[in-house]
Amino acid sequence: MTATFQIRDADFVLDPRSGSFATVTDTAKLAQDIDIVLRSDISGLYRLVGTVGDPYSMRAEASRRIANGLRKLQYVQGLIQAVYRTPKERLQQVRAIDVAPDVNDRRTYRFRVDVLSAGFNPLSLTTSITTTV
């Protein structure tokens, strides 16, 4: 099991009871890792949203980038982190990737990822990215 700090909106989270940094484990750790993939340059979604005008092309390219980012995560977990992570913290399989524009705001896209951990725990994450253009 890894001792990993909990991150929310690119900031460390403090545990209000102890005043120290909060940590995450198990499927919460996997969810945090996937969220980092979706929101960072690993997937490149921030640079993509707003540059592709056609919704069908956007879905295809975003799905490809998400899948590549998750493959990179899986590779790193298997290569150097497998010994230190519980099965619940490791990505086993990507079950579905859904990309859809927001019905009320065409500048916003919603990304949903359904995965299975190595401990066979299903996990679904959804995030949105809005372009400023």
> pLDDT tens digits, residue range 39-97?
887 788 888 887 777 888 889 999 999 999 999 999 988 887 667 788 899 999 999 99
What's the CATH fold of domain 4-130? Nuclear Transport Factor 2; Chain: A, (3.10.450)
Cα(126)–Cα(112) distance, rounded to whole angstroms? 4
Give SS3 for 24: strand
Q: pTM of the prediction? A: 0.83
Closest to 113 (Cα-Cα) out of 132, 91, 133: 91
- How far CA 65 is from CA of 14, 16, 45, 104, in Å, comes to 32, 37, 7, 24
> Which of 24-28, 79-83, 92-96, 108-112 shows the lowest per-residue confidence on average (mean pLDDT)?
79-83
